[in-house]
Amino acid sequence: MRIAVVGSGISGLSAAWLLSQRHQVTLFEAENRLGGHTHTVDLKLDGKTFPVDTGFLVFNHRTYPELTRLFATLGVETVASEMSFSVRLDQPDLEWAGNSLGTVFGQRANLARPAFWHMLRDILRFNREVVREPARASSMALGDYLKARGYGKPFIEWYLLPMAAAIWSCPAAQMLGFPLSSFVTFCHNHGLLQVTNRPQWRTVKGGGREYVKKLASAIGDIHLGQPVKSLRPRGDKVELVSGSVSGLYDQVVLACHSDQSSDILAHHYPAQSKLLRHIPYQPNRAVLHSDASMLPRRKNLWAAWNYQSGHSKLSERPVAVHYLINRLQPLPTDTPVIVSLNPLQEPDPAMVHGEFHYSHPVFSHQAVGIQRQIAAANGFDGIWLAGAWLG
């Protein structure tokens, strides 16, 4: 069969790679590079040049078995990484990290702060209770559950929502509407509801572009800088229009963001297009730099993921989180290499190495039902939808 794959993130690349083994596949990518959120750049620092990932960073064998098998099949080398987490608030003046008991109380004032002890007790309580509520979890938003169970503000504003906002790259306040069932499943699978027996995180040696190269080498027909405009039915075929170019295909895989797929389907598939609009995407700005003032003020609290907020009050402001790449990837330098997502303050311009723009899906309780509807109807007229936004 002739198959078109639209989008070259991990979903599109892996689909095109697998389908190429038996079919004639053409891959379309709107950008001038392959990889989507996997974006490795060469950084020149301290007289050395080395690869740094600015998007996709880590995975683990337990939670990502299919990605693990794919890397093994491709011969992609990986090395150990970590997922430590810190929180820095300006109002109140609060810092802590989960690396160890010493970093939990790295700010000594936390020892004499009753609210901090309440937060710790609620963490243990949440980890114990939430996995026992499958019926409640299937029909509630995270915020409704927290309110119904009487969890305290310190737990919500100093721990749970900062962690969740950092994971899903969305405003902390937005996480209150996140489906509880999806949240619990994710946290349980990633070992976030337990102190011991957590999975070992890993990162791709040489950067994520190494797996991108290996996948792309097996795909014969790749079109970069070719955004797809529309799809339309043509008998038992699908006509794909990309700029001034069009072609007929037996099947089409739309492996792009939900809003992008919605635009492509809008003219000839309005019902499907409207459905996809219920899972919107949110833009996030990433800055690659070496300005350590973005990190916790106490160096012993530096973690792999570092959440920052001007105050504990929840806001709809894009999440500010700083990824300390030195902790996540093996770099040949002790100079901090940081990717800051939506920084509260701009890093020192003299220390900025690059700027990138990504988008992440926004999930609501309604989105879970939409995902089920899409999965049930996938393959309509030979058109298949794929991507992380489908869950």
- Return phi, psi of residue 20, to 5°: -65, -20
Which residues have a Cβ under 8 Å from the Cβ of 15 and sit 6 or more positions away?
5, 253, 255, 386
* DSSP characters over 282-309: EEEEEEEE--GGGS-SSGGG--SEEEEE
| Residue 364, marked binder | no
| Residue 29, marked binder | yes
- Return phi, psi of residue 187, to 5°: -65, -40
| Residue 30, marked binder | yes
CA separation (Å) from 39 to 48, 118, 211?
19, 40, 11
State the Rg of the chain over Cα.
22
**Residue ranges with strand state E in the chain:** 2-6, 24-29, 40-45, 48-53, 59-60, 78-80, 85-89, 94-97, 201-204, 221-224, 230-234, 237-242, 245-249, 251-254, 281-289, 305-309, 320-324, 338-341, 352-361, 383-385
Cα separation, 13 vs 225, in Å, equals 16
Extract the annotated binding site.
11, 29-30, 228
Extract the annotated binding site for FAD.
11, 29-30, 228
